[in-house]
Structure formats: structure tokens, C-alpha cells
């Protein structure tokens, strides 16, 4: 009892005397309007796409640029942070990421404190707590976690086995390849469980997994059923993560099989081919743009952008202008921007015409930012301050942040501070200002973090504080983690904590994760945050899994894997 009281006092002192025993409901993944339970690759918590879907009544939710941004956001935020740190242009204009000092956690803290705390939670009675602890252990990349995770894979419950399979892949220990291959081929194991093992092999990145995966995929093609479809899609995804050109022929055959192969599997094979990027891949992906299933065409459009090949532009331009499905057109435009080249910007300007669907216009504005051509900055500034079409204005604001257009700061400030504007738009403008390194924005963020009525503003503030590397904000962000009811905001908080790895913050998270006096919901949040701290901004292999993925037809296995992160 005395020990628990001491822990509680430490926590309450650090986070400002707030009670951690509140009544906020643990957010365990978006449901209802977001049946695919999509979460971002490195944020560790679910995102608010269920709100996006419900707001865009005139637009099919998953066709909107907001979904693509949430999936791909982290690599652009890392790029912005590096840009601001390396290219300070004048006093008082930009903030720099704080220097690492003695109060920042180090490798010894991960090995001695984080791993020990997470190992203790593998024995929890709460299955989600065990699963989150397993995933967090994988993120530590500390070899001492291998034995307990292997035991969990061998002897745990179904949810234990799935989490352990993914965690072993994240752990990066080559010896895990044999264990995952054994489990993936074990007779009598449900296909959806085996799907997690093959995804683990892909995340592990061990080339010796390629022949195992190819054999399993070939054997599975003679079977039918929802579970086997998940397994086939997961196996194709894993082959793409491993990136061996020897797998290209098999994946091309799967992608081109219109009879007997589910569209989810064909889509996964196309995305995998985009990652492998072998000779002749553009022709195969271009044929995918002619598939009768829109899901497959979407996957082909995204995969062509992943290749970065100039000869993909003509195929993408045709799809951008002519495909009957607006989400195919949108992803084709984004892929053109990723590849770049002459006349791409002018083509994207055409997509902004008012006669086009709103979803396409939003994607086109964001794509202009991704393109990186500063000639189009004035157009984006005008769109960001437009009075109508808030979604389009938000896309333009984010595009300006991606573009690194310092000249947009005055325009974005007006939007961010105008309380008559929609909270979504103000949030995107705030995040864009943080991406541009605007110092005046940093002063506004603590108040935004406590905005009682606007979850979108709280989420953007949390992301922006992490992006700024603002060390004094650590306690305020930690307090938000344990008092915030909105799961999207808590996910953003966990993202920011990974960029503010203070020893004091680590101590509180360990206390909550291991303290018996705290609710399971609080421990789960603390466990997830520990995994984020352990990765400390390191790009997750899971980010590669989602790059170019066909968001609309995430298989059950991939969707479950996303929720684990």
C-alpha cells in the first residue's frame, strides 16, 4: 500500500496534481463509420477517421485526402522537423529541435527500465494489455525480449499469438525467422493466425523468409474462403516488404488472375510489386489500372507512385483524368506528385477545377504540396484562405507545410487564429505552421492542448508540440494522455511523447504501466507510450507496409495488425 501511494504521489506531482483514476473510456479502435479500423503507422494509437467519415456526407469517407494524410503523415512530419533544424533562416523566425541533454532517455533506460516494465505486463489478465506490451517490446529491438515473445507465440491465447508474431517481426532478431516460418506452416492453425506470422516475417526483413512465403502462397491458391483470402493477402504483403525481385513473377501471376483470386489478394500483390520494383513492373501495374474491381485499380494507382518510375506517369495521368472511381483518380494524382516531372503540376491544377468532385480537388491540392514545386505555392495560399470548401482549404494548408513555403506563414496564421473557422481547418493550419517552424505558433499550443470543445485542435496541438521538440511541454502532454477522453488526441499525444523522451516522463509511464492501483485503460495507454518512446522516432517497418496500400480493402488480418500498432 505504501509503495503504491508513493507511486501515485510521484505521478500526481509530475503531471500537476490530476487524478489518474478518471472515467474516460479507453478507445480501442474506431468502429461503425470506420469499419476498417485504420490507424497511422507510427502514432501507436487510433486516429479520428470515424469523425472524418461522418462529416463528409457528400463524399465517400475513404475517398478523402484526410485518410491518405493520416496514413502517410509521419514521414512528412519527420522531414519538416529535419528541415527546420538544419535550415534556420533568421532570429525569431524558426524554432529548433531541442538539443539532447542528460534528461533525455538513453539506450540503458530502454534496456533496464522499459523492457523490464513491459515484460511484467505479459502476465496481465487483460488480453489487450498483453498484446500492447508484446508490440511495445518488439519496438524496443532489445534481444532479451525474444524468449518471452517466443513463449507467447507457442503457448499463448489466440490474441497473444497474433501480437507475438508481429512483435517478433518488429524485434529484428534474425533467429525469429525460423520460429515465424514454423508457426506460419503449422497444420491446424487458423489462416488468420498464420497471416500474422507471415506479416511478422515481412516486418523482420530476413531474406530467408522469401522461399517460405512463396511456397505458402502457391499452396494457398488452391483453397477458398475468407480466412484463406486474408492469409493470401498478408503473404503477398510480406513478400513486398522483403523486396526480393525473385518474387516478382509469382506476384504478377497472382495480380493478373481474374478468376479464383479475390480482389483483395490481387490488390495486395500489386502493392507488393510496387515495393519490389523489378523490371517490367510498370506494365503489370498498368494492367491493374484496367481491372474491373475499383479496389484493385486503387492499389495499382498507389503502387505506381511507390515505384517512382518516370514511365508510370502516362498511365497515371490517364487514370487521373478518366477513371470512373474518384478515389482511383485521387490516388493516381498523388502518385504523379510522388514521381514528379514536367507538366505534373499543371495536370494537378486541372484537378482543382470546380467541375471535379470535391474529393479529387482536395487530393489535388495536397498533391501539389507533395510535388514540391514552389511555383504553385501562391495557388495553395489562395486555397488555404478560401471561405468555402473547408476540406479543400485544409488540404492546401497541409500542402503548404509539406512544401516548406515560409511565405505562407502570414496566411496560415490568420486561418489558425480565426475562431469562426472550422476546428478541422484551424487544426490543419496550426500543424502546417509547426511544420514551417513558426515560433509564434509554439506559444499558442499549450492553450490549444487544453481546448475543451475542439478535439481536432487538441490533436493538432499535441502533434505540433512534438514536432517542435518543445521540452517544457512534456508534463502538459503527459497530463493530457491520462485525462483525454478522445482516442485520436491520445494517439497524437503518444506520437509527441516519442519525440520528447525525457527521463521524468519515462518514470511516470513506467509507474503507471506497472502500478496495481491504476485501471487497465490507464496501463494500456502507458504501455503503448512506452513502446513509442522506445522507438524514439525510428521509422517503423509498418510504415512501409502501409505505403501504397489499398486503404479501402484492408483485409481483416491487415486491419487487425494496424490496430495492434
The Cα–Cα gap between 415 and 423 comes to 10
- pLDDT tens-place values along the chain, 565 residues long: 333 433 332 333 333 332 222 223 332 222 222 222 223 333 333 222 223 333 333 334 457 898 888 878 888 988 887 787 665 544 444 444 445 567 778 889 999 999 999 999 999 999 999 999 999 999 999 999 999 999 999 999 999 999 999 999 999 999 999 999 999 998 888 888 999 999 999 999 999 999 999 999 999 998 776 678 889 999 999 999 999 999 999 999 999 998 889 998 999 999 999 999 999 999 999 999 999 999 899 999 999 999 999 999 999 999 999 999 999 999 999 999 999 999 999 999 999 999 999 999 999 999 999 999 999 999 999 999 988 889 999 999 999 999 999 999 999 999 999 989 998 899 999 999 999 988 888 888 888 888 768 888 899 998 988 887 666 777 788 888 888 888 888 888 888 887 777 788 889 899 999 988 888 888 999 999 999 888 876 767 777 777 766 555 555 556 666 555 5
Asked whether 551 and 34 are in contact (CB, 8 A), the reply is no
Phi and psi angles of residue 382, each rounded to the nearest 5 degrees, phi first: -65, -40
The span from the CA of 328 to the CA of 413, in Å, is 33
Q: Are 271 and 302 in contact (CB under 8 A)?
A: yes
Question: Residues 52, 66: contact at Cβ < 8 Å?
Answer: yes
Is 388 in a helix, a strand, or coil?
coil
Helical spans, DSSP H, in 49-175:
49-55, 65-86, 107-109, 115-121, 127-140, 146-155, 158-171
Note the pLDDT of residue 92.
Answer: 41
| pLDDT of amino acid 537 | 60
Q: Are residues 478 and 511 in contact, defined by beta-carbon separation less than 8 angstroms?
A: no
User: Which pLDDT value is given to residue 497?
Assistant: 82
Q: Give CA–CA dist 369/435, Å, rounded.
A: 12
| C-alpha to C-alpha distances, 21 to 11, 15, 492, 509, 521, nearest whole angstrom | 12, 13, 21, 15, 10
Q: What pLDDT was estimated at residue 470? A: 67
Total residue count of the chain as it appears in this document: 565
Amino acid at each position: 500500500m505504501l509503495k503504491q501511494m508513493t507511486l501515485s504521489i510521484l505521478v500526481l506531482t509530475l503531471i500537476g496534481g490530476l487524478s489518474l483514476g478518471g472515467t474516460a473510456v479507453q478507445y480501442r479502435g474506431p468502429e461503425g463509420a470506420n469499419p476498417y479500423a485504420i490507424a497511422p503507422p507510427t502514432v501507436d494509437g487510433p486516429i479520428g477517421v470515424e469523425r472524418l467519415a461522418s462529416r463528409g456526407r457528400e463524399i465517400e469517407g475513404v475517398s478523402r485526402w484526410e485518410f491518405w494524410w493520416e496514413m502517410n503523415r509521419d514521414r512528412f512530419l519527420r522531414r519538416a522537423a529535419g528541415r527546420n533544424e538544419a535550415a534556420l533562416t533568421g532570429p525569431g523566425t524558426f524554432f529548433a529541435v531541442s538539443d539532447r541533454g542528460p534528461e533525455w532517455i538513453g539506450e540503458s533506460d530502454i534496456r533496464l527500465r522499459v523492457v523490464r516494465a513491459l515484460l511484467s505486463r505479459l502476465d496481465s489478465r487483460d488480453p489487450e494489455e498483453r498484446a500492447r506490451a508484446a508490440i511495445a517490446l518488439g519496438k524496443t529491438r532489445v534481444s532479451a525480449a525474444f524468449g518471452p515473445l517466443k513463449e507467447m507465440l507457442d503457448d499463448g491465447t489466440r490474441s497473444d499469438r497474433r501480437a507475438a508474431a508481429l512483435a517478433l517481426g518488429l524485434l529484428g532478431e534474425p533467429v525469429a525467422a525460423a520460429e515465424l516460418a514454423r508457426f506460419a506452416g503449422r497444420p491446424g492453425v487458423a489462416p488468420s493466425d498464420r497471416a500474422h506470422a507471415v506479416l511478422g516475417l515481412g516486418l523482420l526483413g530476413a531474406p530467408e523468409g522469401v522461399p517460405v512465403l512463396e511456397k505458402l502462397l502457391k499452396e494457398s491458391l488452391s483453397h477458398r474462403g475468407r480466412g484463406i483470402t486474408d492469409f493470401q493477402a498478408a503473404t503477398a504483403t510480406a513478400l513486398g516488404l522483403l523486396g526480393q525481385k525473385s518474387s516478382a513473377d509469382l506476384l504478377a501471376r497472382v495480380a493478373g488472375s481474374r478468376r479464383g483470386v479475390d480482389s483483395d489478394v490481387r490488390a495486395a500483390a500489386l502493392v507488393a510489386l510496387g515495393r519490389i520494383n523489378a523490371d517490367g513492373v510498370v506494365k503489370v501495374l498498368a494492367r491493374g489500372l484496367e481491372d474491373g474491381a475499383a479496389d484493385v485499380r486503387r492499389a495499382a494507382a498507389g503502387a505506381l507512385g511507390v515505384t517512382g518510375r518516370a514511365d508510370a506517369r502516362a498511365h497515371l495521368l490517364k487514370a487521373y483524368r478518366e477513371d470512373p472511381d474518384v478515389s482511383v483518380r485521387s490516388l493516381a494524382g498523388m502518385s504523379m506528385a510522388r514521381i514528379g516531372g514536367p507538366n505534373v503540376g499543371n495536370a494537378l491544377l486541372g484537378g482543382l477545377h470546380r467541375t471535379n468532385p470535391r474529393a479529387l480537388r482536395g487530393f489535388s491540392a495536397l498533391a501539389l504540396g507533395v510535388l514540391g514545386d514552389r511555383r504553385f505555392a501562391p495557388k495553395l495560399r489562395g486555397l488555404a484562405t478560401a471561405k468555402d470548401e473547408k476540406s479543400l482549404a485544409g488540404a492546401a494548408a497541409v500542402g503548404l507545410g509539406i512544401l516548406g513555403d515560409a511565405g505562407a506563414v502570414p496566411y496560415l496564421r490568420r486561418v489558425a487564429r480565426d475562431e469562426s473557422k472550422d476546428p478541422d481547418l484551424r487544426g490543419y493550419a496550426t500543424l502546417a505552421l509547426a511544420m514551417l517552424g513558426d515560433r509564434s505558433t509554439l506559444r499558442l499550443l499549450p492553450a490549444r492542448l487544453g481546448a475543451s470543445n475542439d478535439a481536432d485542435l487538441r490533436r493538432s496541438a499535441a502533434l505540433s508540440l512534438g514536432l517542435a521538440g518543445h521540452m517544457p511541454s512534456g508534463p502538459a502532454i503527459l497530463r493530457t494522455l491520462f485525462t483525454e477522453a478522445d482516442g485520436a488526441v491520445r494517439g497524437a499525444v503518444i506520437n509527441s511523447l516519442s519525440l520528447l523522451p525525457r527521463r521524468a516522463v519515462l518514470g511516470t509511464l513506467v509507474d503507471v504501466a506497472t502500478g496495481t492501483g491504476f485501471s487497465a485503460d490507464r496501463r494500456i495507454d502507458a504501455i503503448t507510450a512506452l513502446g513509442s518512446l522506445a522507438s524514439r522516432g525510428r521509422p517503423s517497418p509498418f510504415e512501409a507496409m502501409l505505403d501504397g496500400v489499398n486503404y479501402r480493402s484492408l483485409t481483416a488480418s491487415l486491419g487487425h495488425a494496424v490496430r495492434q500498432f
